[in-house]
Structure 1
């Protein structure tokens, strides 16, 4: 057997992150992350997001892929690279002129929790079979990724209840400022070559609209658009999940699931993620290097 990495196939994360609905969940996370002004400024003031948004999205997906399915060395190197970037970058509050580091623990924690919440909620609502205990286990496992980006795992929510309490604490600090509006505009109408505009309007619009619809009601209020009926959103998520999961894995496991293919090649066919392999029982620390 090769190196199973930091999560290992015995984790909920290993199985969950192989699902194609992760793409919708990732877009939902972007919508949610943009509602914390200090966090979204760090992105827009320190990257070429406006010109290379697709590249940035791809790099984020690659980070999730390599930290979930890569070797221990590859995951640790990816984390060290992210921490190094965070240490070098600052952002400026346009209202006060304050400069602050983009690696502030509070900002990193918001990004982490928005991702974990989005991955879990979108996949469960789309029909991915997880019990409440398995959902709690997933949130606890995600502290591995929190450590990689520079957070103290002990300060990161480790259950659905702790995650809900964190979001309740953060709500007064959230707003759809100009930076969030810019992210919203991009996600609704991303720039593409003229020949790809029809495909964008047909396919990407549906992904972005579904991700936006899956946001919590307070996020809809902040963005200023009416919240859709939750039951209707769940039906759409389930229908989309059903269609995507019927696509043969070798056709949909290209990016970021290229990391899955490498893991299966390294560890053998039994490492291939699938819902029926989600571990049962309470979390007992299957992940390494927490």
Structure 2
């Protein structure tokens, strides 16, 4: 039994960081730097990203982002997500945690690295009116969709499965707007209401759509090629991501909350249980947060001083 649990823990670590035998080098480097960073202990961003809810949020983000034909074209035409999905996941986690926990210089460098990779991601797609349009991963409009779908997913999942947010939902949207700016978003939302309004605009304007590529992507996300040890828990987390979607997006994606006859299954509770098990397996606080706290101690930062200021 102990051997099984150790293998399961190793597979979890490998899924999220790309390796099971050690903390990745980039995590250790979060202890470096000469400034506190954009986000600090006690912030809304630390509260949300330091919980387990981002695991569900990540699935929800992928589902939502697939509804934009430009974003989806970039993934299908320039990504190796089918051949090596865990590498893409690990790269995304690296950027999120570096912006969350790293120094300002580290966050800016990580964002420049991603934007440099995005320079190769461009092409053309046909919009809902039949017109051919160009897309670029670094286009501010497309970057805005990616940012808002991310912010909405992480905030929604945390409301369902996380704890309190210092300053409330508006604080999270406002604080994470900095990440959008680092990625070239020109006018990121600064409140939950503003974020919802911007999401509604894409929906009302008919810029989102479902086609065979979306169906393929949803099926791939539903049946992600994970180690068999992780698949039972993942099925519950996927159901949780579907549960968290607004009904209109759920309908567009052809998804529904699992039911047993006329009765909905307790997806929210089951998701909470799985996240609790993952928390026990991975431990908290995570290595990224610990590295950040090491840097802050070296710089003489204290949470008490921050509160007083």
TM bucket by the smaller chain? 0.7 to 0.9
Residue 261 in structure 1 maps to residue 296 in structure 2: no
TM-score by length of 2: 0.75
Q: Which residue matches 1:53?
A: 85
Correspondence list, 1:109-128, <5 A: 109-128=144-163
Q: For 1:234 and 1:156, how far apart are their aligned partners in 2? A: 30
Counterparts in 2 of 1:126 and 1:87: CA distance versus 1, 3 Å: same
Q: Which residue matches 1:222?
A: 252
- Superposed displacement of residue 97, structure 1: 5.5
- Superposed displacement of residue 232, structure 1: 4.5
Q: For 2:97 and 2:45, how far apart are their aligned partners in 1? A: 11
- Cα-to-partner distance string for 1:72-113 (whole Å, 9 max, x where unaligned): 211110111122223332123167664432222111111101
Q: For 2:253 and 2:47, how far apart are their aligned partners in 1? A: 33
- For the pair shown, which has the larger CA radius of gyration, 1 or 2? 2
Number of residues of Structure 1 aligned to a counterpart in Structure 2: 265
Q: For 1:237 and 1:271, how far apart are their aligned partners in 2? A: 36
- Cα-to-partner distance string for 1:196-251 (whole Å, 9 max, x where unaligned): 33x24322222222212211111111122334699954444444455555x27xx3
Residue 157 in structure 1 maps to residue 189 in structure 2: yes
Correspondence list, 1:1-290, <5 A: 3-93=35-125, 98-130=133-165, 133-152=167-186, 155-171=187-203, 172-192=206-226, 196-197=227-228, 199-227=229-257, 232-245=266-279, 247=280, 251-252=282-283, 257-268=286-297
TM-score by length of 1: 0.80
Instruction: Describe the SS at the equivalent of 1:49.
Output: coil
Instruction: Describe the SS at the equivalent of 2:83.
Output: helix
Q: For 1:271 and 1:84, how far apart are their aligned partners in 2? A: 33
Q: Which residue matches 2:14?
A: none
* Matched-pair contact (CA < 8 Å) for 1:126–1:240: no
Q: For 1:258 and 1:76, how far apart are their aligned partners in 2? A: 20
Q: Alpha carbon RMSD of aligned pairs, Å?
A: 3.1
* Matched-pair contact (CA < 8 Å) for 1:20–1:252: no
Counterparts in 2 of 1:271 and 1:111: CA distance versus 1, 3 Å: farther
* Matched-pair contact (CA < 8 Å) for 1:39–1:107: yes
* Matched-pair contact (CA < 8 Å) for 1:263–1:271: no
Counterparts in 2 of 1:210 and 1:10: CA distance versus 1, 3 Å: closer
Q: For 2:207 and 2:242, how far apart are their aligned partners in 1? A: 20
Q: For 1:24 and 1:100, how far apart are their aligned partners in 2? A: 28
